Structure 1
């Protein structure tokens, strides 16, 4: 059986699970920062933005496209997160990050995440495949040293990294 690149075709529940993962990221980020982070969601995801983070008292925002994979999936069980980003709608820009996240469905918790500025992501991926998708494939193993390792985060590190990204964006806007 070949690997199906369109995650939403795998299961009727996949879209529901993906949305739940987005809300998990949002809620855990708000809780872990004791309300310093706030998160908005899009009613329509036609620009590749699932969540928009902002820090209380600041005007800087960080748009995030979330690609979630569940612990029940074969790749995640083997210690790898693989996801695809459609080149037709992907528009790298300042203030847009890609968030790849593995979710433990039994615990309802983030296992591992990668937060990557969209421009950096575009520089690091190869050309799109035959159906126009960029491929992200990273090891979840703590001792791995693949090219995505500098962006790998634990669940506890993710909210702090979002705050750092917002500070970087606020500084850039002030210059």
Structure 2
């Protein structure tokens, strides 16, 4: 008998689809999103934009508004060190989701190379830790990557242009 998907797995997959749909709509169809058939490399979404040849692989780490951390205005997620391979065309997207509205509260789009340089690694647990504040005046190492929901699609388009070599600004 097949095992039933967990509610957490369903919620995570729904968050990925919410991100994909939101970005396609907010870009007025200029972004396209695909999902890999197999998730053995930690890649959840593949973004491509009209007018670019680049493809940006994105690993999504979603947390729901019902979690204790989000209720206390903090976001924490872990990235396994065994499968994590930083590279220019891979970003990590940490996204806080309002489950009552089915909407993105806040997001952090972090290029994997930058994440590897700044994340705290737990040697004993084999994972990197991402910890950020949701507070308006919060100050943490990830503040420069924090995005309001309406900033996510334009930032993804900018990342695709960077990968395509159309801009020289590579700080985010």
CA shift at 1:172, angstroms? 7.0
Structure 2 counterpart SS, 1:127 = strand
Distance 2:126 2:166 in 1: 32
Select between 141-150 and 97-106 the one with higher mean Cα deviation. Answer: 141-150
Counterpart position of 2:98: 104
Q: Is the 8 A contact 2:120 2:130 kept in 1?
A: no
Distance 1:144 1:55 in 2: 32
Counterpart position of 2:157: 163
CA shift at 1:145, angstroms? 1.4
CA shift at 1:45, angstroms? 0.7
Give the total of aligned pairs: 163
Which of residues 24, 36, 55 in structure 2 aligns to 1:61? Answer: 55
Q: Hey, which bits of structure 1, 4+ residues long, moved more than 3 A?
A: none
Which of residues 122, 129, 137 in structure 2 aligns to 1:143? Answer: 137
Structure 1 residue runs without a partner (length 5+): 1-10
Query: Are 2:84 and 1:90 equivalent residues in the alignment?
Result: yes
Distance 1:14 1:33 in 2: 28
Q: CA RMSD in A?
A: 1.5
Distance 1:92 1:128 in 2: 17
Distance 1:124 1:136 in 2: 9
Change (3 A) 1:172 1:57: closer
Q: Is the 8 A contact 1:138 1:148 kept in 2?
A: yes
Distance 2:6 2:33 in 1: 27
CA shift at 1:128, angstroms? 2.6
